[in-house]
Amino acid sequence: MMKNIYAWLDERLGFDDMYKMLLDRPEPHGNWWNTLGSASLFLFIMQGVTGIFLTVYYTPSPDHAYDSIQYIMNGVAFGWLIRGMHHWGASLMVLVVFIHMLRTFFSASYKYPRELTWIVGSVLFLLTLGMGFTGYLLPFNQRAYWATVVATNIGGVVPGAGPFILRALRGGSDVSALTLSRFFSAHIWMLPAALAGLIGLHLYLIMRHGESAYPDKDD
């Protein structure tokens, strides 16, 4: 019965073809440096799973944000573990993606035909930094508040566009409830959606052009 149902669905949706294209692939030759991309993807998924759990208890309000973090840490079963994984996983993801970019650059894997793969990967790195930047404010303690003040002030001194960037980030002249709301929205929806879409494109380009490899002597 189940085989018949699967055969009916496979004929229309092509499950076997998708399996062969995505999973049934030969193991690439290389070393541990070639696993950094997979490690980055794993960390992104871990950040998503732990982040979903945290949003159940987090309150994006200046009056309640810090208290909700303390409740997660001390009042929720294994909340300290989930928050710790999310906190340290964010730093580890930035580090792993950065090393992955360095490995790609120094091995010249950005050359033809992988130029677009490199460009998409560079944008992914910037979005990863954006995730860390927006997430840093969410506990809304003194360290997060003043770090955001300093970081947004840096954006505010960009020639010409500085005042616009500052107000766009803060939602006003000061770091306030509107700033927290904007950072929370960007952190849980806008940036993850952009990351997920570009990761899909990045994986497609890798499947099309193959794993990045070290150049030959003639390259």
User: Coil, helix or strand for 24?
Assistant: coil
Q: Identify whether the C-beta of residue 211 lies closer than 8 Å to the C-beta of residue 30.
A: yes
Close Cβ partners of 168 (under 8 Å, ≥ 6 residues apart): none
Q: Residues 65, 139: contact at Cβ < 8 Å?
A: yes
Radius of gyration of the chain (CA): 21
Count how many Cα atoms sit within 13 Å of the Cα of residue 75 in the half-sphere of its side chain. Answer: 9
Per-residue pLDDT of the chain (219 residues; tens, 9 = 90+): 888 998 898 888 888 887 777 766 666 666 778 889 999 999 999 999 999 999 999 999 999 999 999 999 999 999 999 999 999 999 999 999 999 999 999 988 898 889 999 999 999 999 999 999 999 999 999 999 999 999 999 999 999 999 999 999 999 999 999 999 999 999 999 999 999 999 999 998 988 887 765 555 555
CATH numbers and ranges of domains, the chain: 34-209 (1.20.810.10)
| pLDDT tens readout for residues 98-116 | 999 999 999 888 988 899 9
Task: Please state the φ and ψ torsions of residue 214, each to the nearest 5 degrees.
Answer: -75, 140
Write the CA distances from 214 to 3, 25, 107, 108, 209, integer angstroms: 44, 20, 5, 7, 14
